[in-house]
Structures are given as C-alpha cells and as structure tokens.
Structure 1
Amino acid sequence: MPASDITLYTAATMNGWKPLVFLEEAAIPYTLAAVDFGARSHKTPEFLALNPNGKIPVLVDHSNDDFAVFESGAMLWYLAEKYGRFLSEDAKLRSETLQWLMLQMGGVGPMMGQTMFFRRFAPDAGQASDSALTRFTSESRRLFEVLNTRLMGRDWLAGDAYSIADMAMFPWVRCHSWAGVSIDGLDALADWIVRIDARPAVQRALQLPAPAPRFLAEYELEAC
C-alpha cells in the first residue's frame, strides 16, 4: 500500500505549486513525485496514462481506486471536495469561488504564460514577437487590474475566507516581476500577495520541489 493516499507529480512552476499549497495548508499527508523536465519524464507512456496531455501537475488518489486527476484547477476542486476544505458549501459562495478559479484557469494563467514565453524564452528560440509580447503583457496587466478592484476592501477573492481561488491565482500573480507585468498602483493586489506569501504553509509549498535552474535563472523565489 502507498505511504499516503495522495501522490502528486509536480515541478516548480506556477501550476505545479497550486496543489502543493492546498496539501500543505490542509496538512494532508502526500507523496511528492518530482517531475524532471530535462529527462522528459512527463512524456513517458506511464505518465501519459495518468495525463494524456503530458503536463504537470497530476494527482493520484490511492484511496479512490488510484483515481488520477490532471489540470491544476480541477485538482484543487477535487481536493476541496474530498477534504471539505477551502470551498464553501453555500451555493452562492461556492459558485463565486469557482468563478474566480475559472478566471485564473482561463484568463490569468494563459495570459501570464504567454507573456513569460515571449519575454523569457521566445528570443532564444527565434520566436520573438514584439506585438505578441505587448498584447499578452497588456492583457495580463488588465486582468491584474480586475483582481485589484475585486480585492479593494477585502482580504480574499471569494467571500471572507481564503479559498482555492486564492491558491490558484497566487503563484501566477506572484511571478509578475519575472513576467515583466507591473503591479504599480495596484495596492490591494500587492497587499494580497504579501498576505498569502506570509503564510507558513505557502512558503513550505514554494520550496517543493526544487526550482528548475533554467526556469529561475538568476532570479530567486522572491522574484517568482
């Protein structure tokens, strides 16, 4: 039998940190399986059997017939329902939380991901595009402004409690400087970053697994 109910296949990326934050916050025992991108272990037949899309993170719930969950937002939702944590049972508040979770999955994550690619990786790959970089940087900033407005006068994205919506959004927003997206003038958003960054469980999650050198380069975790 596995040592814990949950095995998490992940790496030190924005999506990779999200389920780690939940597991650390909820103090749930889990087995961490670090994925080595350099060895392309996420493209092996064994990994593709868990996630046909060949991406991290992937969660396997051994207490539920080794049920595999891929897509980080779906993973947070699954964990919240399984353990009854960080997602309200009130129908309206539950929907509100999931709306902000979906905004991260469909908006902030993709826009920030493209911004990071065109700023950090495209030039080396011969795929630089000033228009693409401008487009994705501007849209990321616009979404940050939406978040800032939402956070004015409140601590969390949904209701009065820290939730999976905050856990999902945080790693992407926290990397704003590495992506080159300014948060100048977005004081409510900046305060929210500090508030979540100060949580001990979040800090533990951000150290797991070890950051990939190519990803961080000369940047420290404080900058990403």
Structure 2
Amino acid sequence: MSHGKQFTLYSHVTGPNGWKVAVVLEELGLTYETIYLDFKNGEHKAPEFTKYNPNGRIPALIDHRNNDYVLWESGAIIIYLIENYDPEHKVSLASAGDKLQIIQWLFFQASGQGPYYGQAFHFRFNHSEKLPSAIERYQKEIIRVLGVLEGVLSKTEWLVGNKCTVADLSFIQWNEYVDKTVEGFDNFNFEKDFPAVFAWHKRLTARASVAKVVAVRTIKQSN
C-alpha cells in the first residue's frame, strides 16, 4: 500500500496530545495525514484503532517509510521524531546531557501538566455533577505546575539549552486552556501571576508551526 505522505497521525479535534505531535511534525517539515477519531461513536475503542494503540487513546503515529512502524503515547512519539528526523537539531539538542533534560521535561509535561489540566477541565465542564472539591484540587495543581515553570523560566528564556525545543513545544496545547480552566479561581490572572510563563507561551504561539496547527484546529473545531 503506497502513501502520499510519510506519516498517518491518529488524533482528535479537541484532544491536546494529538495537536502537540502535529506541531513537532510541522517544525520538522514532515508530511502527514491526520485522521480525527470520533470519540462519541467510540472510534478510539474500536478494533480498527486499538490494533495500533491497545490503550484506545490518541495520538498514535504510523511511519510509512519505516515499514509502517507504529508508536503511541505523545512523549514517545516526539522522542522518536527528533531521534530519527531532526539531524540538524531544529527542535532538539545534540549533547547527551541536554537530551536527558528534554526527556525530563517531556515526562513532567506528560505526568504533571497533562493529567492535572485534563482533570481540572473534566470536573469543571464535563463531569455529570459539580464537585467543588475536585475542581479546586485540580485547579490548585495547575497553579502548582505553573509555579514550577515560572521558577525556571524567570531565569532562562527556554527550558533546555537556551533554544526552543520539543520540551517547550509540548506544553503549548494545555496552556491554551489555562484561562478557561482556572477562571475565577483565587482571582487568577495568567499574565500577572506567571509573567515568565505567559511570555514564554506567547513566544511559542508566535511560531509559524504553531500558528498553522492552531488555524487547522480552529477550522476542525468549528465544523
């Protein structure tokens, strides 16, 4: 079976982790086709998808020029992409120490930012009943994660190696939801409370790759 584009990306129109991978693909100039799964119809749990990702979550990526190699979990996908398709280190770094620092931040994003932001969003907007204690718990965790980032970014422009890498790019999608998710909590003001993180986020969203992905996301979400 021939493919016009190198990668197939399984994603979702609102799921941040799929868009996170799309940004890295754009940064590296790689060609891909995105298949947006319909969660309401259970496409992410159907055999046609779980044969690629037994966890039934997005994203999953197929590299057609590497014997249809399949990988799931966004952090693992991003590491695969920079290890195999970023020889010029456009969004990665060459030294072993810097590589581990990047992986460190990818783990923090996947274990700290993503789950806590996701749970805060779920309990505030999607849960069947209002649970103020759960909402508050996860909103506080968002503030804590932002505080970790603020402590680092108040001293340096980027997370690793004084340049924008996938470590930075991995945080964009969930931070896009910060104001909506934490709105009204303890007079939260993103720009005032976390100025270094806010400025960093603005630098990231100004990148051409991010602007392109955001434009596609906006169209998909409006359909």
TM-score, length basis structure 2: 0.89
Q: Could you say what the CA RMSD is over the residues aligned between the two structures, in angstroms? A: 1.7
Residue 141 of structure 2 corresponds to: 139
> Helix, strand or coil: the match of 2:204?
helix
Percent identity between the aligned chains? 33
Q: Is the 8 A contact 1:15 1:72 kept in 2?
A: yes
Q: 1:31–1:211: structure 2 CA closer, same or farther, 3 Å change rule? A: closer
Q: Contact conserved, 1:60 with 1:68, CA < 8 A, in 2?
A: yes
Pick one of 20, 23, 28 that aligns with 1:21.
Answer: 23
What is the aligned partner in structure 1 of residue 39 from structure 2? 37
| Alpha-carbon distance in structure 1 between the residues aligned to 2:220 and 2:157 | 29
Report how many aligned residue pairs link the two structures: 211
What residue number does 1:196 align with? Answer: 204
Whole-angstrom distance in 2 between the partners of 1:208 and 1:54: 24
User: Which residue of structure 2 lines up, in the alignment, with residue 218 of structure 1?
Assistant: none
Tell me the equivalent position of 2:125.
120
Displacement of 1:87 after TM fit?
A: 2.1
Within a 5 Å distance, the mapping from 1:90-129 to structure 2 comes to 90-122=95-127, 125-126=128-129, 128-129=130-131
> Is the Cα–Cα contact under 8 Å of residues 112 and 136 in structure 1 kept in the other structure?
yes
- 2:84 paired residue number: 82
Structure 1 position 139, deviation (Å)? 1.1
**C-alpha distance after superposition, 1:72-106 (max 9, x if no partner):** 11111111111024221201111111111110001
| 2-structure distance, mates of 1:19, 1:58 | 9
Q: Per-residue displacement from partner, 1:171-220 (whole Å, max 9, x unpaired)?
A: 11121012126323210000011101111210111233444469xxxxxx
Maintained 8 Å contact 1:148/1:188: yes
Q: Secondary structure at the match of 1:189?
A: helix
Change (3 A) 1:14 1:95: same
Q: SS where residue 216 of structure 2 aligns?
A: coil
Q: Report the secondary structure of 1:162's partner residue.
A: coil
TM-score, scaled relative to structure 1: 0.88
Corresponding position of 1:158:
160
Assess if the C-alpha contact under 8 Å between 1:11 and 1:211 holds in 2: no
Q: Which residue of 1 aligns with 2:7?
A: 6
The letter of the residue matching 1:186 is: F
Which of 185, 189, 213 is the equivalent residue of 1:205?
A: 213
Higher relative contact order (CA closer than 8 Å, sequence separation 6+): 1
- Native 8 Å contact 1:22 1:167 kept in 2: yes
Equivalent-residue separation in structure 1 for 2:156 and 2:12 (angstroms): 31
Q: Secondary structure at the match of 1:60?
A: strand
Query: Structure 1 residues 211, 31: CA separation in 2 closer, same or farther (over 3 Å shift)?
Result: closer
What amino acid is the match of 1:23? L
1:69 aligns to what SS in structure 2?
A: strand
For residues 135 and 35 of structure 2, the distance between their equivalents in structure 1, rounded to whole angstroms, comes to 34
Query: Per-residue CA shift, 1:102-155, capped at 9, x if unaligned?
Result: 100010111101100111111xx13x2111111111011011011011111322
Any conservation in 2 of the 1:16–1:56 contact (CA below 8 Å)?
yes
The unaligned stretches of length 5 or more in structure 1 are 215-224
State whether structure 2 residue 177 is matched by structure 1 residue 172: no
Q: Check whether the contact 1:115–1:136 (CA below 8 A) recurs between aligned residues.
A: yes
Offset of 1:32 from its aligned partner?
A: 1.7
